[in-house]
Amino acid sequence: MESDSFMNQVYIALSKPIQSRCADLTILFQKGTLRDLQAVFPVLIDNIFGPQGTLSWDLRTITATVKSHDFHTLQQFFSPCGPFFQLIYGLLKDSYIKYDFSPAFLPMKVKQMLESSHVHPFYVDLIPVNSQNKQITSLLLNPFDYYMFHFAYYLINPFHQRSGLTLQSSWSTVYYILCCDYVLHFLPTTVGALILPVIHYSGKNPVQHYQQQVARPPARVSKLLKTNLFGEAANEFPVILQPLEKHPRSEIWRSETILTVFLDMWLNNDQISHPIESNFNITLAKKPLHFNELPAGEYIRIIR
């Protein structure tokens, strides 16, 4: 019952204007249990980005000049250290929390790569293994990756093209500013710079798969004993496998996600010639938008 009540509060918040919506959701993120937040997260993603062509939060139309208060509210809400990412990092505390992302949203070239025998290392641990038909039905993503895949797809989703915006105004949309914020934050150019907040996440390949080799001095073996009692390598440095205290990808996996997802989704964009066929992840029944075949100037600007 408490979970139902929490979900209802989220739906009520989503029905409010942007400033009230973000304020109410921020409070709910702080008071919700991990189970509540896990259940509501895909609902929020669908509501924000409308991947199936339903209404979204209009991140690609709101600008600082037209709707100044909404613009700054959204920029702060989705900033790399803002309330929404605090929600994401809270969910990352449980490395078993994963969400399905439909391959129908991926460019054809990426889908073909996933179905081939030469899968990019980034995707290896994201593909659920189906031993029966070996077909890829989804990508299994942690909350951070799930958000970033949907964020990237939002730019190329043909239902959300906004060719009516002037080129100048499209450069100052919330979406464009967030793209810049994410690249600057998660792909730092300063040597040794840390990505904040510093987190130790073990969900990108199990930690136990990564072990360090420790060389131990050889044991002193009496020459009176046969060497085969101790093995042929008794005089060599035996290798001891010990679990790493720190996951080797903790400092780079967010950068890896940003770089791989943005490049794969945007540079291989073919959503016009291969329209969406999936009904994946529909959680809110809303009036669908009209399909627009013209990419916006914002898309061209971001790619450049």
Per the model's pLDDT, the better-predicted residue between 235 and 78 turns out to be 78
Same domain (yes/no): 253, 233: no
Q: Residue 128's pLDDT is what?
A: 83
The arithmetic mean of pLDDT across residues 188-194, rounded, is: 88
- Cβ contact 187:259 at 8 Å: yes
Give the C-alpha separation, 77 to 83, whole Å: 5
Same domain (yes/no): 224, 102: no
Same domain (yes/no): 236, 161: no
Same domain (yes/no): 198, 272: yes
Tokens of 33: 């249990």
The parent domain of residue 277 ranges over 2-203+249-303
Tokens of 43: 């609902």
Same domain (yes/no): 284, 237: no
Q: Residue 36's pLDDT is what?
A: 97
Same domain (yes/no): 58, 181: yes
The arithmetic mean of pLDDT across residues 104-116, rounded, is: 91
Domain tally, the chain: 2
Give the C-alpha separation, 70 to 22, whole Å: 10
Same domain (yes/no): 196, 216: no
Give the C-alpha separation, 136 to 203, whole Å: 20
- Cβ contact 288:145 at 8 Å: no
Same domain (yes/no): 87, 226: no
- Verdict on whether the full-model pTM lies above 0.95: no
Q: Residue 132's pLDDT is what?
A: 64
- Cβ contact 279:52 at 8 Å: yes
Same domain (yes/no): 98, 159: yes
- Cβ contact 95:201 at 8 Å: yes
Q: 290-300: per-residue pLDDT in tens?
A: 444 445 555 55
For the chain, give the number of residues.
304
Contacts 24+ apart (CB under 8 A), 209-212: 210/244, 210/247, 210/248, 211/241, 211/242, 211/243, 211/244, 212/241, 212/242, 212/244
Q: Residue 159's pLDDT is what?
A: 83
Give the C-alpha separation, 86 to 79, whole Å: 10
Q: 226-261: per-residue pLDDT in tens?
A: 444 334 443 443 443 334 455 567 788 999 999 999
Give the C-alpha separation, 162 to 148, whole Å: 20
Residue 226 CB-density burial (10 A; 0-12 exposed, 13-18 middle, 19+ buried): exposed
Same domain (yes/no): 45, 113: yes
> Residue 258, Cβ neighbours under 10 Å: how many?
22
Same domain (yes/no): 168, 231: no
Same domain (yes/no): 216, 138: no
Q: Residue 54's pLDDT is what?
A: 85
The arithmetic mean of pLDDT across residues 260-283, rounded, is: 66
